[in-house]
Amino acid sequence: MSHDLEDAAAVDERLDEFFAKRLVHARQLGAAFTALWEQVHEATRGGKRIRPALVTSTHRAFGGAEHEAAVEVAVAFELLHTAFLMHDDVIDDDTIRRGRPNLVGAFRAQALHRGESAAFAWAQAAGILGGDLLIHAAQGLVAAAALQPAQRRLLLELMEESLAVTAAGELADVGLTTGVLPPVLPEVLAMSDAKTAHYSFRAPLRAGAIIAGAADSVLAALDDYGRHAGTAFQLRDDLLGVFGRFTDMGKSTSSDLRRATMTPLVAYALQTSFRDALLEALGRDGAVSNEAEARRLLEVSGARAAVEDLVAEHVAAAQAALSDLSIPRALREHLGEVAEVAGGRMR
């Protein structure tokens, strides 16, 4: 078994152990809380495990010997990712993820017999609390991992920074989409970077290097790579969210248009002569959107091509960051492949 497969199996095994323990405790606190933890566990199934893999592959590449600690921190990042997805589903009122009902959708279905209002409240509470529990658990795993005190401090600070940056990005996303914040393209691009790049790429890479005891000098190169690869990942996600297929995404490719989500794709188009037509098609202020027309306008305005170019630029910049020879060759090759997948991926 290759190291990558070995690490992936270890992460899955540790996740199962984590949830088995939580479910034992949940059963002491009632059926509803048990159902919450069951759905939280279900939410971790079917993911690509991108973030855990970045932690463990980076740790191994730098010759790290703290395998159990690396797996523990890798699991923490997967829990953090799942928490952010849950909160994102609450904010966006999405009920489908990875091709099946998400936690919000499952809890809403449970309570529909009490009416739409009760079902909505029940589902929102479950999504918020489920995400909160996982954020706390992720920090707890890092705090309890078999690490040197200095490493633990650095990793907890890294986790805290990931929380802050991602929350700032999510808040900006809501502000830009609702019009509370002006949809200026640089701000929209910064939001896109904050929502994903830090916790999905930059922080896991740094975490693996810290656990392995890598020199501080290499962290800047990894951070530069992670910023560009993570931004390419999010921009590709924005494109797939409009022009992809349900079978590729595992979720609706209409929800971003129905909500008139302020992605860089939309922000670019709003700077063109197609602005008024696009706003009408997007259906702001509660109007019914014209999805087909919105897609057409995002094409003819040049927005889709512009974002495709941005993806390519960020992939190239990520590859350039890997020219730093302080990054082990095997890791440079692996991360180069990751950047290519991030820029052109299908889920």
Contacts of 174 (CB under 8 A, 6+ apart): 91, 180
**Three-class SS state of 198:** helix
Tell me how far apart the alpha carbons of residues 227 and 223 are, in angstroms, rounded to a whole number.
6
The radius of gyration of the chain from alpha carbons, rounded to an integer in Å, stands at 21
Residue 203, amino acid = A
Q: Which domains does the chain have, with CATH numbers?
A: 1-45+67-146 (1.10.600.10), 148-347 (1.10.600.10)
According to the model, what pLDDT value does residue 28 have?
A: 98
Residue 98, amino acid = R
**Three-class SS state of 241:** helix
Instruction: Output the CA torsion sign for 251, 194, 324, 329.
Output: negative
Tell me how far apart the alpha carbons of residues 35 and 112 are, in angstroms, rounded to a whole number.
16
Tell me how far apart the alpha carbons of residues 315 and 250 are, in angstroms, rounded to a whole number.
24
**Average pLDDT for consecutive 10-residue bins of the chain (347 residues)?**
86 98 98 98 93 98 97 99 97 90 97 97 98 99 98 98 98 95 94 94 98 94 97 95 76 75 95 95 69 95 98 98 94 96 71
According to the model, what pLDDT value does residue 346 have?
A: 42
- Give the residue from 333, 339, 338 showing the smallest Cα distance to 61: 333
- Half-sphere exposure of 167 toward its Cβ, with a 13 Å CA cutoff? 11
According to the model, what pLDDT value does residue 248 have?
A: 64
According to the model, what pLDDT value does residue 1 have?
A: 41
- Give the residue from 263, 264, 269, 271 showing the smallest Cα distance to 300: 269
C-alpha dihedral (14, 18, 23, 29), degrees to nearest 10: 180
